[in-house]
Structure 1
Amino acid sequence: MKHVRIAFVLLIAFCVLPCTVSRLIAQNLSSYNVTATVVDENGIPVIGANAQLIQGKTKQGAATDAKGHFRIQRVKAGTYKLELSFIGYLTSVQDLKVEGKNKTINLGKITLKENVRQLEGVTVKAAAADMKVKGDTLEFSAANFGMQEGDVLEDLIKKIPGATVSESGKITINGKEISKIMIDGQEFFSGDPKMAGKHLPTNMIDKLQVLDRLSDMARMSGFDDGEEETVINIQVKKDMRQGIFGNAYGGLGRGIKNDNNRYETNAIVNQFKGKSQYTIVGGGNNTNNLGFSDLGVDMSQGRFAGVGGRGRGSRGSDVAGAIPNTNPRAGVTKSWIVGANAATNLNDIWDMNGNGRYGYSDQYVETTNAIINFLPNGEMTRQDNLSYDQVYSHNAGTDMRFVWTPDKLTEIIYSPSLRFGKKNRTFSETFENINLKDESMINKGDYGMYETSKNWTTDHRIDFSRHLNTDGRTLSLSAKFDYNSNDADMIYHRNINEDSYLSKQESDFSRLGTRLWASWVEPLGGRFFMQALVNTRYRRQTNNRKNYSEVAKNEWIENDEGGKYTNDFYSFNMGANVKYLLKNMDVTLGFTVDPAMLKSKRYIGDSADYEHQDTTIHSVNFAPTFAFRYRPNKQTSLRIQYRGRSQQPNIDQLMPLPDKTNPLLEVLGNPNLKPSFSHDVFARYQTYFEKYRSSLQAMVFGNITKDAIVSDALYDINTGKRTIKYRNASGNAFIHANASFTMPLFGHNLSMRLASGGAYMRIPGYINGEKNISNTVNMSNRLSFVYQNDWLYTSITETYDLDHFQNSTSDSETANIRHYRTDHEITFNLPWGISIGSTLSWKTTNGYKPGFGNKAWNWDMFASYSFLKNKAATLRFKVYDILNSGISNNNTSTPLTVTHQRTNTVVRYGILHFIFRFNSFSKGAGRGDMREVGNRRWFRGH
């Protein structure tokens, strides 16, 4: 605690002295703040617009945030020109006189007019660039990616340079996971980007923007708190921003087997009016097209008993649970969903955004695995298993967000959420372990379980900010409360080498967390601002596990393998930051001190006679903070950031109660684990070359972790059983770099899109008592050439990935896995509303052990016909996986294992869709009579 007292004294000195000096300096200064909201002609906020006050050669500027707000601080009295600019809009210039008693000059709403060059009102002369950079925002034109009737947002994202959509539906762009989808600056089904990805039709999308959004508290205080999120903002086509519109479709089909009948149905209705948005969506299918991200997948994915789940932890610290988590894209899934989303201005001082949703899923997965295990002494074993997994789940949830701005200086945000899930799961697996040295049998057997679980979670957060003077003095406060409960009951059987028994487990898991955060921002005179902050956190995790052995049929007796375990985490983070503002850049320097305490308690015996074993761990971490932003013009930005943060172990890693549900894997926590501390670095450069309509973005981020939580594994080659424990170890490191570039070739119809990235991971661990350093290098390169005109869209994409694995315990087992893929897409948009198209892919994987390679063709084709007035109706027939190529194969490799996996999936089938588009626009639907193909508009039927 001596270090904590010293740090606290330094913090007080660091805060009080500058505040005193600032008052002396401020007495001789007279400055103003200039603020406004920038919107387009429909009242939609313009995100990332550049605002500059110009006086001779002097310029002061700021960029608009997700609500279109900007604030230019420390402006001296005088006469200026206010210039507002944004790519795609006409630059606005107006004279502004800064004077008067009111030190905050609020200009209200300023409208930017769209800069559209049209030929005879129909044809746009210049093609929009594939990718544009607007300060910190990447923007993609949807019309350049060959979207068809029935396509959804996820189909568009898959074509964006640097973007990937995983099998589970997780969206990643340039290595950063997308946490939210927004529509014209308003959140859409908050916290569930997969929902938007699978249901928003692309025919409503004009632009897709990718940006890093500061947390509410960072935006309020003006200082980055390290909790920003990467979001996608959808700009709706201008003629759809006033009125009601939507899509509805239904489809029936049949696969190569009589029992493989397929169906899909979906409807989405939108009403847009100014800043207000209302959406209702619903549908169902048996084609693995889950809608909500937590449909039977994320709500209670824990270990065998469905308890706890995985915490944040350090990279590489988690191990596989006793039973694998369910892959949402594997097997065959039937699902139904319904949901509603609303964003509106209740009045001049209240904004509301919220959603509610319900979903049901029924998933059946058959999995065949072949797993090669490498041991430090050079020995290898192979485990072959076959599993069957059936999951039924019901999930419901709601998220709300209320913003209250009673005056220009005060803002209060309240964000509550509630989620509930119920699941029934049946899992069974047969296995066989072989010693590859002499092909001898180690063991064989089977295990399985029947589980019922309920999970509910609630979060509540309130943020408050008040500007106390016109020079930038600001008080910001935040409070958060969250609670999670998961109850699981399970009956499981184990049979290994003809030794079998039946057991039962009851598990009650709960997690409660609170956070209080306070920030004081003080102007220091000139362009300097200082922030003092305090952040306290508390988290309690409890797991009460009871295990029973069967003594007779349907008669159980509790054994001593269970128990109750609690863990309390306390943290009191203090820090101070100083920011220096210039016209085109800002620099922030500071430090944090983070004392923390972990207190764990294990209860033994009945509730009336509990004994307990206490474990208390103290830690103190010091770290500087650094942030640098540079925007020399509206099309270029550079950002560099460093931050240190602590990460506490989760209860699975702490609880010293063995999980023996799987006869081949036992997991035992370590109550003596320390919190880990990571040093995180991030840098990004983006620019747009307007003359050549080309864009470049490059990014690098990584971390080094002290006291990383790593696995300590013991593998018994005589029994085939693996025991996993945890310990702290240093040397954990991760770095990721990527870049993407787009440019037109030989005119406007042909373009090139390049995305390249790589990552390095260094993960320490232990196996059979020997320290193992896992070194992994991943490289990915994707090059696309796209050609499009009024009637043709075609592209060819080459993808090459390299995975290099090596561990220190067995240098001879270095693996170099190469993945190569070629995709060719072609679509003909013919007269009379007819479109035909094809997608052909070739995938090959090399570098695995003999017999573990993978080569496959995949071919899809479609034909569609649009008819009725304004071509509102479409009939589309599509055949998936024409060659029945076995796309269910999957290979994965780590330094200690190679796994070849095959699952059942939705195989070759054809489906006939009827798609209907409807609209009722307040300004008329004349523009709806036209269809965007590439970058030009032409009348359908011509």
Structure 2
Amino acid sequence: MTKFTSAFLFLIFSATGVYAQNGSLKGTIQEATTNAPVRGASVVIFLEKDSAKNEIKSTVTDAAGNFELNDLPKDSFLIAVSSIGYQQLIRPVIIGDSVKNLGVLHFTRQGKDLSDVTIISKAPPVAQKGDTTQYSASQYKVNPDATTEDLIKKMPGITVDKDGTVTAHGEQVKKVTIDGKDFFGDDASAALKNLPSEVVDKIQVFDRLSDQAQLTGFDDGNSVKAINVVTKSGIKNGQFGRIYGGYGTDDHYAAGGNISFFNGNRRISLVGNFNNINQQNFGSQDLLGVTSSGGGRGGGGRGGGNTDNFSVGQSPGISKTNAIGINYSNVIDKKVTITGSYFFNNSNNSNESVVNTETFSSPKNLFSTQQSNSIANNNNHRINMRLEYKIDSSNSLFIIPSLNYQNYNSSGLTSLQNFYGAGDSLNTSINRNTAEREGFNIRNNIMFRHSFAKKGRTLSLGFNTNYTKNDGNSVTNAQYRFFNDAAIVDSLQQQLYDNNTNGHTIGGNIAYTEPIGKIGILQVDYTPSVQKNKADQQTFSFDGQKYSMFDSTLSNKFDNTITTNNAGLNYRRSKNRDEQLSFGVNFQNARLESQRIFPIVSSVNQTFSDILPNAMWRKKFSASSNIRVFYRASTNFPSVNQLQDVVNLSNPLRVSAGNPALKESYTNLLSGRYTYTNSKTSRSFIANVFLQTASNYISNAIYIAQQDTVIQQGIQLKKGSQLTKPVNLDGYKSLRTFLTYSMPINPIKTNINLNAGFSYSRLPGLNNYTASITNNYAYNTGVVLASNISEYVDFNLSYNASFNNAQTTSTFASTNNYVNQTAGFQLNLLDKKGWFVRNDITGQSYSGLSAGLNQHFWLWNAAIGKKFLKKQAGELKLSVFDLLKQNQSIVRTVTGAYIEDAQSQVLQQYFMLTFTYSLRNFGVAAKSFNGEFRGREGMNRPVGRNPSF
């Protein structure tokens, strides 16, 4: 009978409660190096399934090191052997109805007894582990109730914008994991805002490879900047979090919280957020392309058709939020790892905005002022799952599905005025608009990897699917006035637009790696993909009672298919993890097929053949410095909404149309990063540079009517009206640099972080068939003084300045200079009795903007309160928002076609009283009789490129 069969039968009998009392266990304990018997060692046995580890029987070894335990029930046990001067020995054992002889067990001596010696070690604030930058959380002091987001703000090279966007080493963070496990999918904000800083041991910043690239080890160009949060060892078992509720003046309220249950590898986290004060501890999914922040050009937008699954920050205006979510992760049988999450959020947003735009045109530029009031309701559901199954030592399977659903409706009133200059008005409009949209996105990615007996020889297979659907309609009721040369012309427009899009993608990947020599690996891969999209726009005019008059001239049915076949050959040479060189080339053939089905059948078929080289070099020069250089060429295809040649006349002043003749764009990206960290002096320096060029860059061409009535591409335009159409333009370039230097100022226990950067973009444009180039230069500098005194004194002092210069050259010329300065001071004081005072002061200065939007203001938030109850778990806080009543929100957007300044509605002063209860129950792992047993905890490495713990 095999051991497996015996164990199986044993479990069957155990489950029925049948026990025999005649089992015995014996063995011999010997010293590992000398094989001498160990006398007087304590031998204890307890049930493996007993979390309290209650002793069943115990004994001590005799002079020959022998022991024996009798009358044991048939079950699974753990045997623990301990003795002074030796490392504790723990072994699993199954007892049957006979004598179980463990034979000789070797006991290992401990090192020199250091019980009377105190060793104090100080982890370096920043260290470089391979290509992972690692920050030690213990070296950055924050208040006890600070979040992980508060903690990383103190770390050099990491910044957090007011909307929650995290930037690390000059790149936006797209992924945050906790101990290598997903937390609410790709939502970086959810992890950082809902995890208390006191549970954090390390913060790791690295370039996370795509799931497919992690299997092969070759970067496929889909890596993203990621953060992995390493929790303290004691947190692997515990419960922690906080709940809060507050009410304030003008019926402002805020309630919610988060709570996590960690039990070894099983982790459950709950989050909730209910408020009307613009608090958002998560990133919003925007499948419909309707909730992204920014002023927008209004009227002529082609909302919808965005099939990407991405997160956006807080929308402009004032939002009422209701959100709840649950995240689960577990490691099962050491072979199966599963993570999953569900998140729901509802947002009711109201906004009043002013948008000033300068559009480049010939013979003179066009100016516009847009004022709008809007109300929007957005519902969002998202489900993410991940299953990792290690079948055996040679085979692994990954299944990664996701489902996202969004429902959105809005109503608004917008007034727009276009003019060439003061007293030279072209047209005005008042537009009442309502819209309803809903859509969903279902994705699944299945990957399999087989490792052959020869080290480095692997076969990886991938299969991915994506299905998206985006349906909706909008109603426009607008009045227009045109100031023609001869007379003033008024018109009324009442229309309903149905705009539905759906699509699906089926793709696969096969990759084979073969070792070449001792340090080389060759990869051959093939990736086919078929993407099909359908767009259907129908327009109806008002007949006096309802929208029933079908307008075929503004309706269109359009199909688009993109078929790609990509094959590559790549070579990687790696002496060790500190030095690696890889290079390769991919050959891609793509077919772009566009077919108009209604009103007139036509088709445009294009074929593209591309050579896509790539290279990466990483080298560690010393224990403190390393460099990474990366290059890749890639292509980007236009969306179905950009290709669909239908006119959107929902706003005759801002008309838009698609372009089925659009080509793919071809992009070259070169980046470099140098990192220096000195653990002895706690100094660090990080330098990044990004250079990008693109041919057939997809931009918007703008035509502005100069006469009273103009027929342009079959569309009738009034004087001053704009027609926007996507086109391919050459000449796009961008350059970004980012430098940060950090060092401690020991006399005042403070870290100083200095940063500087320069960015340049060359944006091609086409205005009234005249080519233009906008060169945008931006110089950035900043300093942060972050306290490192204690948990009772926490302050941050910061200053940032951005100097922007945009120069447009063509038959016309335009220069726009813009300066944005931000100063901040955060001071949190806490005494041992629980009294605290908090201040957060931010000063903003804008100059060089359009008329009426230059602003200088201070936003001062303050709070005072008291912590009480056992372990100061309770907190009562009185806070005030915008103490000086000066809050503002202004955003500038620069493109090759226009420059836009947008001012949005913001919260004004309010007071609030809030009660918070914190749960801190850490390190409750089961312990043995002598306190040394820690269970079978494990540390999971983050899924990425060699992050180190």
Same fold per superposition (TM over 0.5): yes
- Given that residues 287 and 441 in structure 2 are in contact (C-alpha distance below 8 angstroms), is that contact kept between their aligned partners in structure 1? no
Which residue, out of 401, 412, 415, partners 1:427? 412
Task: Name the CA distance, whole Å, in 2 between partners of 1:133 and 1:165.
Answer: 22
Q: What residue is the counterpart of 2:358 in the other structure?
A: 372
Matched, 1:406 2:400: no
**What one-letter code is carried by the residue in structure 2 that aligns with 1:492?**
T
Q: Residues 181 and 189 of structure 1 are in contact (CA less than 8 Å); yes or no, is this contact kept in structure 2?
A: no
Deviation at 1:635, TM superposition (A): 4.6
Rounded Cα–Cα distance in structure 1 between residues aligned with 2:678 and 2:153: 24
Alignment correspondent of 1:69: none
Matches of 1:697 and 1:799 in 2, distance apart? 18
Equivalent in the alignment of 1:470: 454
Map 1:263-278 onto structure 2 (within 5 A).
263-278=253-268
> 2-side partners of 1:532 and 1:883: how far apart?
63
Q: Could you tell me which amino acid in structure 2 is paired with residue 458 of structure 1? A: I
Separation of aligned partners in 2, 1:595 and 1:747:
63
Is contact 2:767–2:897 with CA below 8 Å preserved after alignment?
A: no
**Partner Cα distance (2:271, 2:151) in 1:** 19
Q: 2:328 aligns with which of 342, 346, 352?
A: 342
CA distance in structure 2 between the aligned counterparts of 1:312 and 1:238, rounded to whole angstroms: 34
Match of 1:60 in 2: none
- How far residue 814 of structure 1 moved from its aligned partner, in angstroms, is 1.6
Deviation at 1:596, TM superposition (A): 0.8
Distance 2:749 2:117 in 1: 21
Q: Is the 8 A contact 1:132 1:694 kept in 2?
A: no
Q: Give the AA of the match of 1:575.
A: G
Letter in 1 for 2:733: A
CA deviation map 1:800-847 (0-9, x unaligned): 111121112267522221222222222222231122132222221223
1:210 aligns with 2:205: yes
Could you say what the CA RMSD is over the residues aligned between the two structures, in angstroms? Answer: 2.8
Query: Per the alignment, in what secondary structure is the counterpart of residue 422 of structure 1?
Result: strand
Paired residue secondary structure (1:661): coil
Shift of 1:404: 0.8
**SS of equivalent to 1:853:** coil
Q: Does 2:568 correspond to 1:575?
A: yes
Which of these residues, 153, 177, 185, is aligned with residue 182 of structure 1?
177
1: CA distance between counterparts of 2:116 and 2:919?
28
Compared CA separation, residues 704 and 456, structure 1 to 2 (3 A): same
Higher mean alpha-carbon deviation, 348-357 vs 697-706, is at 697-706
Query: Is 2:504 the partner of 1:519?
Result: no
Partner of 1:691: 680
Give the Å deviation of 1:886. 2.9
- How far apart, in 1, do the equivalents of 2:883 and 2:706 lie? 44
Stretch of structure 1 that moved more, 620-629 or 569-578: 620-629
Deviation at 1:407, TM superposition (A): 0.7
What displacement does 1:621 show?
Answer: 1.0
How far does the alpha carbon of each residue in 1:422-472 deviate from its partner, in whole angstroms, 9 at most, with x for none?
Answer: 111112201222331x51221112113211111111001011111122231
Q: Is the 8 A contact 2:496 2:547 kept in 1?
A: no
> Structure 1 regions of 5+ residues with no counterpart?
1-112, 255-259, 314-324, 606-610, 927-942
Q: Deviations over 1:521-576 (max 9, x none)?
A: 11222322211111112111110111111122115111111110011001111110
- Aligned AA (2:226): V
Post-superposition Cα deviations, 1:883-930, rounded to whole Å, max 9, x if no partner, equal 11132344445565444433222111122221111133453899xxxx
Distance 1:449 1:274 in 2: 53
Matched, 1:225 2:215: no
**Counterpart secondary structure, 2:191:** helix
Corresponding residue of 1:779: 779
Q: Which moved more, 1:270-279 or 1:193-202?
A: 193-202
Partner of 2:430: 446
Match for 1:413: what amino acid? F
Does the 8 Å contact 2:289/2:305 carry over to 1? no
**Secondary structure in 2 matching 1:197:** helix
Alignment of 1:248-647 (within 5 A): 248-254=243-249, 260-294=250-284, 300-301=290-291, 306-309=303-306, 328-377=314-363, 379-436=364-421, 439-497=423-481, 498-560=490-552, 561-583=554-576, 584-605=578-599, 612-632=601-621, 635-647=624-636
Counterparts of 2:403 and 2:568, CA distance in 1: 32
Give the secondary-structure state (helix, strand or coil) at the position aligned to 1:662: coil
Q: Structure 2 CA distance, aligned partners of 1:217 and 1:743?
A: 38
**What secondary structure sits across from 1:663 in the alignment?**
coil
Paired position in structure 1 for 2:823: 822
Q: CA deviation at 1:361?
A: 1.4
Name which one, 1 or 2, has greater alpha-carbon Rg.
2
Q: Which amino acid aligns with 2:597?
A: Y
Contact preservation (8 Å) 2:287, 2:308 = no
Q: In the superposition, relative to structure 1, how do residues 132 and 866 fare at CA in structure 2: closer, same or farther (>3 Å)? A: farther
The alignment partner of 1:407 has SS state of coil
Going from structure 1 to structure 2, the CA distance change for 1:488 and 1:717 (only over 3 Å counts) comes to same
Cα distance between partner residues in 2 of 1:380 and 1:446? 23
Looking at structure 2, the residues matched to 617 and 330 of structure 1 have their Cα atoms a distance apart, in angstroms, of 40
Deviations 1:238-257 (A, max 9, x none): 43221222211111112xxx
The structure-2 alpha-carbon separation of the partners of 1:626 and 1:880, relative to structure 1 and needing over 3 Å to count, comes to same
Deviations 1:303-359 (A, max 9, x none): 75742138799xxxxxxxxxxx99834221111111111110122211101101112
CA contact (8 A) 1:163 1:174 kept: yes
- Give the % identical residues: 22
Judge conservation of contact 1:292–1:359 (CA < 8 Å) in 2. no
What CA distance in whole angstroms lies between the structure 2 residues aligned with 1:134 and 1:153?
A: 21
AA in 1 matched with 2:177: M
Aligned letter for 1:752?
Answer: I
Deviation digits for residues 562-597 of structure 1 (CA, Å, limit 9, x no counterpart):
110011001111110122221341211221111111
Cα distance in 2 for residues equivalent to 1:178 and 1:298: 22
- Given that 1:604 and 1:612 are in contact with CA atoms closer than 8 Å, whether structure 2 keeps it comes out as yes
The answer (yes or no) to whether the contact 1:360–1:394 under 8 Å persists in 2 is yes
Partner letter of residue 277 of structure 1? R
Q: Which moved more, 1:556-565 or 1:621-630?
A: 621-630
- CA apart distance, 1:287: 1.0
User: 1 CA distance for matches of 2:280 and 2:238?
Assistant: 29
Q: Which runs of 5+ in 2 are unaligned?
A: 1-109, 293-299, 482-489, 708-718, 928-949
The SS at the match of 2:649 is strand
Of stretches 841-850 and 777-786 in structure 1, the one that deviates more from structure 2 is 841-850
User: Is the aligned partner of 1:843 residue 2:844?
Assistant: yes
Indicate if the aligned counterparts of 2:305 and 2:641 stay in contact, CA closer than 8 A: yes
Shift of 1:143: 5.2
Q: CA–CA distance in 1 between the matches of 2:596 and 2:162?
A: 39
Equivalences for residues 919-930 of structure 1 within 5 A:
919-923=920-924
CA distance in 2, matches of 1:833, 1:417: 44
In 2, the alpha carbon distance for the partners of 1:146 and 1:213 equals 28
Q: CA deviation at 1:646?
A: 1.1
Match of 1:798 in 2: 799
In the alignment, is the contact (CA less than 8 A) between 1:814 and 1:895 conserved in 2?
Answer: no
1:732-789 Cα distance to aligned partner (Å, 9 max, x none): 1122211222111245712211122222111212011111111112222111223442
Letter in 2 for 1:569: I
Q: Is the 8 A contact 1:296 1:423 kept in 2?
A: no
Q: Distance in 1 between matches of 2:197 and 2:288?
A: 27
Please say if residues 234 and 923 of structure 2, whose CA atoms lie closer than 8 Å, have aligned partners that are also in contact.
Answer: no
Q: What TM-score do you get using the length of structure 1 for normalisation?
A: 0.79
Please tell me whether the aligned partners of residues 735 and 760 of structure 1 are also in contact (alpha carbons under 8 angstroms). Answer: yes
Is the CA contact 1:245–1:917 (under 8 Å) kept in the aligned structure 2?
yes
Partner of 1:703: 692
Q: Which amino acid aligns with 2:387?
A: F
- The 5 A counterparts of 1:119-138 are 129-138=124-133
Mapped contact 1:823–1:842 kept (Cα < 8 A): yes
